[in-house]
A and B are shown apart, each in its own frame.
Chain A
Amino acid sequence: MTAATDRRLVSLVVVSHSDLIAKGVAEVVSQMSPDVVVETAGGTPLGGVGTDVERVMTAIRSAERGAGVVVLTDLGSAVLSAETALELLGDDDVVAVKISDGPLVEGGVAAGVRAQTGGDVDDVLAASLAHVVTRPADSPTSHEDGGSGYLRTATLVNADGLHARPAAEFVKLATSLGVKMTVNGKDARSLLGILSLGLAQGATVDIATDDPGGTAAVDRLIELVESGFSGQR
């Protein structure tokens, strides 16, 4: 139903001082976003701890699929190496490359999910930067008070609650529906926002929209939650 099927997805490159960290982040990201290309540039060529500009350049070149690349970094010289790689790649025909200084694991997972759901480079970058700290959002009660919104409540029945892969599935579906919705006041398309709610099995979720045409979308998300995320894979 989305137009993303024949569109190329944004790719990711994970730059870390440690090869193990880079590969570990890629493993987690790929589990939740199986169609997204994730390349790694971890450690030095001799297997030591550090970052290497040429490795970053190679990873960007091999990750590129035509939709752009978001580079995730750990600390210090990883950012410098990534920026230097971009400067050196400047003459090449690499489409769009953006460097994120968001959190490596959470940001990587959020970026992967946004890429998987067809976001462009700027969308994926923004997803990777979204902070886990809570930000002001509509309180679900305001929908009831205003009378114009649509709110439904469900209980999380699956073991993981709204975490890990279920959270990723939730965000993917919410994004694909194209309706602005909130879950317990958080943007339903923000993986980091949803993870920050810490909703475990048995918790109650309020899914709401102010969009008069959005009731079916809310129903779909409620259905997903009530199914225990069983029907998605």
Chain B
Amino acid sequence: MSLDATWVVAWMTAAAAAIADQAPTLNDLDRAIGDGDHGENMNRGFTAVRDAVRELPDGAQPAEVLRASAMKLISSVGGAAGPLYGTALLRASDAVAGLSEVDSAHVLALLEAALGGIEDRGHAAPGDKTMVDAWSVAVDAARSAVAEGRTSAEILDAAADGAESGAETTDAMLPHKGRASYLGERAVGHRDPGAVSTAIILLAAAEAAK
């Protein structure tokens, strides 16, 4: 399918359902190395996003759906994840501004812009045991898929797989950012909840493109 505004709405709706489903898991992961509310916060935020994208007028562009979603996340997630994911979607919106359909090159641009927003906002780099570890592997995988001439849906699949494996690599990492960094060595062996929610969201993007 072509990736138009309907895809973004389907993406956000699928993400909301998956986050709601896995909120207890995200809470558990966060309880181990943070303050235990990542699932609850993300569920509140994506429920608001899901309701907001339903209300958008017909003929809205992908960038408009992304921007509306970003604003909802910023205003309703609470905690650090709101500004981080909100900035990701704001920058993603800028990357596809004016387009009614997102082609494969712009799928990559969208993902790169989202990663850039998260890095700028969180001042985190790969290896810090944050959501950047999922996003950066996802973007690398998407870049390779574009170079191989894959379709948009295949690129999103590659990104989702990359995010999943990037999240897994956070298990062994020592945290350098956020509340988990207060734990130092004790956080090793635990998966970063933000990296896991990233994998959930990017899987939803790929599923929505099918």
Residues of A within 8 A of B (CB): 44, 48, 50-54, 76-77, 80-81, 83-84, 87-88
Q: A76-B178, A76-B179, A77-B83 are in contact. Are A83 and B121 (CB under 8 A)?
A: yes
User: Whole-angstrom distance from the CB of B122 to the nearest CB of chain A?
Assistant: 7
Contact (Cβ within 8 A) A53 B80: no
Chain B contacts for A50, CB-based, 8 A: 78-79
Q: What CA separation (Å) do A197 and B37 show in the bound complex? A: 42
> B82: CB under 8 A from chain A?
yes
Interface centre among B75, B79, B84 (most CB of A within 10 A): B79
Interface SS of chain B: helix, strand, loop or mixed? Answer: helix
Chain A contacts for B175, CB-based, 8 A: none
> B86: CB under 8 A from chain A?
yes
Chain B contacts for A76, CB-based, 8 A: 80, 178-179
> B87: CB under 8 A from chain A?
yes
Interface SS of chain A: helix, strand, loop or mixed? Answer: helix
> B90: CB under 8 A from chain A?
yes
Partner of B78, one of A52, A84, A88: A52
Chain A contacts for B83, CB-based, 8 A: 53, 77, 80-81, 83-84
> B33: CB under 8 A from chain A?
no
> B156: CB under 8 A from chain A?
no
User: Whole-angstrom distance from the CB of A89 to the nearest CB of chain B?
Assistant: 12
Chain A contacts for B80, CB-based, 8 A: 76-77, 80
Q: What CA separation (Å) do A54 and B82 show in the bound complex? A: 12
Interface centre among A44, A54, A77, A80 (most CB of B within 10 A): A80
User: Whole-angstrom distance from the CB of B161 to the nearest CB of chain A?
Assistant: 28
Contact (Cβ within 8 A) B179 A53: no
> B202: CB under 8 A from chain A?
no
Q: A52-B78, A53-B74, A77-B80 are in contact. Are A84 and B179 (CB under 8 A)?
A: no
Name the residue of chain B whose CB is nearest to the CB of A53: B74
Near A by CB (< 8 A), chain B positions 56-84 give 74-75, 78-80, 82-84
Contact (Cβ within 8 A) B82 A87: no
Chain A contacts for B86, CB-based, 8 A: 53, 84
Q: What CA separation (Å) do A83 and B178 show in the bound complex? A: 16
Near A by CB (< 8 A), chain B positions 83-135 give 83-84, 86-87, 90, 121-122
User: Whole-angstrom distance from the CB of B175 to the nearest CB of chain A?
Assistant: 13
Contact (Cβ within 8 A) A84 B79: no
Contact (Cβ within 8 A) A80 B122: yes
27 A-B pairs with CB atoms under 8 Å apart are A44-B78, A50-B78, A51-B78, A52-B75, A52-B78, A53-B74, A53-B82, A53-B86, A54-B74, A76-B80, A76-B178, A77-B79, A77-B80, A77-B83, A80-B83, A80-B122, A81-B82, A81-B83, A83-B83, A83-B121, A84-B83, A84-B86, A84-B121, A87-B87, A87-B90, A88-B74, A88-B90
Name the residue of chain B whose CB is nearest to the CB of A49: B78
Chain B contacts for A80, CB-based, 8 A: 80, 83-84, 121-122
15 further interface pairs, Cβ-Cβ under 8 Å (given A76-B179, A80-B121): A50-B79, A53-B75, A53-B82, A53-B83, A76-B80, A76-B178, A77-B80, A80-B80, A81-B82, A84-B83, A84-B87, A87-B87, A87-B90, A88-B74, A88-B90
Chain A to chain B: the 4 pairs with minimum beta-carbon distance, closest first: A80-B83, A77-B80, A84-B83, A50-B78
Name the residue of chain A whose CB is nearest to the CB of B177: A76
